[in-house]
Chains A and B, each alone.
Chain A
Amino acid sequence: MNTRRLNWPLWVGFLLTLGAFFSYFIIFVQWPITRDFPWANLLLFAVAAVFLFIGFRQGFAADRPHPTRSKIVTTIVGLLSVAVLGFFVFTIFVAGRMLPASHGAPQVSQQAPDFTLPDISGKSVSLSQLLSEPVNGNPPKGVLLVFYRGYW
């Protein structure tokens, strides 16, 4: 009996919410177009919200077999979904911006400091070397330095 009355829009909405969250870090972060602004994920959250809204109406309908239980479950699932959305927005738009400003970085038309660092085989490599060893059989026109957090 209860399975027949399963509030499936609520659960679909909840699963979609989780999918909207995790798919950013697993899938959409791979392409700049879906990474720089997470529109694909916000769209998924919006679809999830539609299902959750329908699920809410069903969960609070008077004809539920266990009205109290249904209301409690619906409320918890709804709150969890909002929390997941909130955490997503925080991660991308708030935590993502918690980067220190850099005033001392070499600016355009300034000369960047030379350095020597080990590569993945432990061999020391200098920036001047990277700027002189041929690329594609020709002297390099430039080097793109990409600083990143690391994965430790």
Chain B
Amino acid sequence: MRSIEKSLNQFKQAGIRPVAISVDSPEESRNLTQKAGYSFTFLSDQNADVIRRYDLVHAGAGENGRDIARPAEFLLDSTRTVRWLNLTENYWIRARPEQVLEVSKLLK
């Protein structure tokens, strides 16, 4: 998230809109964006409905055994088609903005 915020200008120039999704409530997300200075879109999937539809549920991994999302990134083109995705196998290894920006050059 931090690296996306740092590369936000490059994403804008590439015409790519980053969108973060988690089970956090809008209030929790608002606190996070204010505290960390994130200025892109954050969406709340509190019941993990969308997370489930994308098959990204990490069952019981949240507070009090709540279902949360496993980390994952998808680059969609304007027809909602997946052009690139990253289903990391290690929580500490995430997509780098450079990777996404490289693929986004192919989008029209």
A140 to B17, CA, bound (A): 7
Which residues of A are found within 8 Å of B66, using beta-carbon distances? 152
- In chain B, what residue has the closest Cβ to A145? B74
Cα distance A122–B27 in the bound complex, in angstroms: 8
> Min CB distance, B72 to chain A, in Å?
5
Encode A70-100 as 1/0 by CB contact (under 8 A) with B.
0000000000000000000000110111111
Residues of B within 8 A of A130 (CB): 17, 19, 41
Q: In the bound complex, what is the Cα–Cα distance between A109 and B42 (angstroms)?
A: 25
Interface size of B by CB at 8 A reads 76
Say how far A36's CB is from chain B's closest CB, in angstroms: 5
| Selected contact of A147 from candidates B26, B56, B89, B108, CB within 8 Å | B56
A144's partner among B13, B32, B75, B91 (CB-CB below 8 A) is: B75
Q: CB distance A144 to B74 under 8 Å?
A: yes
The answer to whether A36 touches B92 (Cβ under 8 A) is yes
Query: Is A105 a contact partner of B76 (Cβ separation < 8 A)?
Result: no
> Binary interface profile of A, 106-125, with partner B (CB < 8 Å = 1, else 0)?
11111111110111111001
Q: Which residues of B contact A95 (CB under 8 A)?
A: 91
A119:B87 contact, CB within 8 angstroms: no
The reply to whether B80 and A111 form a contact with Cβ atoms under 8 Å apart is: yes
Q: Contact: A149 with B68, CB < 8 Å?
A: yes
Contact A102 B70, CB 8 Å, known A113-B54, A148-B21: yes
Between A95, A147, A148, the greatest number of chain B beta carbons within 10 A of the residue's beta carbon is seen for A147
Q: List 25 A-B contacts (CB under 8 A).
A: A32-B3, A36-B92, A105-B74, A108-B85, A111-B81, A112-B54, A112-B74, A114-B80, A118-B44, A120-B29, A125-B43, A131-B80, A139-B78, A140-B78, A141-B78, A142-B17, A142-B83, A142-B104, A143-B19, A144-B73, A144-B100, A147-B22, A147-B70, A149-B70, A150-B68
